[in-house]
A = this chain, B = another copy of it.
Amino acid sequence: MSPIGLAVIGAGYWGPNLVRTAIATPELQLERLCDLDEQRAQAVLGRYTTVKATTSYEQVLNDPAVSAVAIATPAATHFDLVRAALEAGKHVLVEKPLTSSVSEAVKLADLAEQSGLVLMCDHTYCYTPAVRRIRELIRGGEIGEVQYVDSVRINLGLVQPDVDVLWDLAPHDLSILDFVLPEDVTPVAVAAHTVDPIGNGRACIGYVSVWLSTGALAHMHVNWLSPTKIRTTLFGGSRRTIVWDDMNPSARLMLHDRGVDRVPGSALAPDDRRQALISYRVGDIQVPALPEREALMSVLAEFASAIAERRPALTDARAGIRVLELLEAATRSAEDGGSRVPVKLEAGE
């Protein structure tokens, strides 16, 4: 099968990674890099390339050699760019967040489905070997029932001109949550607390609580101001707990056979006997070996496969919509001083 012709749109922060990875993906043929700033596009491509730079999105969409586009432009431009691409009959991979609102995203999802085109969200983290393994462990029942999720994603981040820290960083955690939870565990409410301590005009620190249909709680801390970089998520289960420390390459995942159990039947015990009916497990820790594979390589491979097999991508527009539902609810909550905002999502895949 001949490779799929691809154009990358946007030569800013993420675009160069798409270019570098597309070049290394045999299933794709990189045709163009498009940016309003041609010099920037040319600089990303370098002096030794046969790939063409262009400033004209229209030209890209009219190019019959281009079957698919990968869009890495500011979020506010996604809706127009994706719609135009779909209308031009191109498959689309788009950076998170899919669009700036749920309603826009739904339109795009519908359009893609009607057109029989792939519309895939680049939820990059879902394609890391660590998150894939977490999904297997959780969905395979290895950790038992999910009791809590706690995620910390903080570092000295680029203060963004167009989005706050929730819209910049929380999509990572929300898309991971969407990806790894069992299909029948769904968010039911969201609350968020944010602050802007440097007077930047948009939140730099955020805390998001997501209540799940099982009664479990998922919590996220996102922060642009921390001088120390932390990327740690706990998935607490009734049988085991996963600690994912993405800054520790020698033990990214630790599977702890430790926890607190309630002895069955103790629910009816009078209060003063309760303590006796708690038991503690202090077992071994397992550090599973993970394959070394760059997530973005897997993203592009999945995009190419979905196109070839005429099927929705693993992180399709519906996944992007579910993330946007939670982001919108979080924003409403933050604006309302942290109140609990109910959400009702369509069932995931």
The answer to whether the Cβ of A198 comes within 8 Å of any Cβ in the partner chain is yes
Which A326-349 residues have a C-beta within 8 angstroms of B?
337-340
Which residue of the partner chain, among B225, B251, B271, contacts A259 with CB atoms under 8 Å?
Answer: B225
Which A273-310 residues have a C-beta within 8 angstroms of B?
274-275, 278, 280, 282-289
Chain A contact-residue range equals 35 or more
List chain B residues, Cβ under 8 A from A258. 156, 227, 289
The reply to whether A198 and B338 contact each other, CB–CB distance below 8 Å, is: no
The answer to whether the Cβ of A184 comes within 8 Å of any Cβ in the partner chain is no
Tell me the bound Cα distance from A261 to B201 in angstroms: 13
The answer to whether the Cβ of A92 comes within 8 Å of any Cβ in the partner chain is no
Closest B residue to A278 by beta carbon equals B159
Secondary structure call for the A interface: strand
The reply to whether B209 and A193 contact each other, CB–CB distance below 8 Å, is: yes
The reply to whether B338 and A337 contact each other, CB–CB distance below 8 Å, is: no
List chain B residues, Cβ under 8 A from A205. 148, 217
Closest B residue to A46 by beta carbon equals B23
Tell me the bound Cα distance from A40 to B228 in angstroms: 41
The reply to whether B197 and A271 contact each other, CB–CB distance below 8 Å, is: no
Closest B residue to A152 by beta carbon equals B152
The answer to whether the Cβ of A234 comes within 8 Å of any Cβ in the partner chain is yes
Q: Known contacts being A267-B199, A339-B339, is A284 close to B275, with CB within 8 Å?
A: no
The answer to whether the Cβ of A97 comes within 8 Å of any Cβ in the partner chain is no
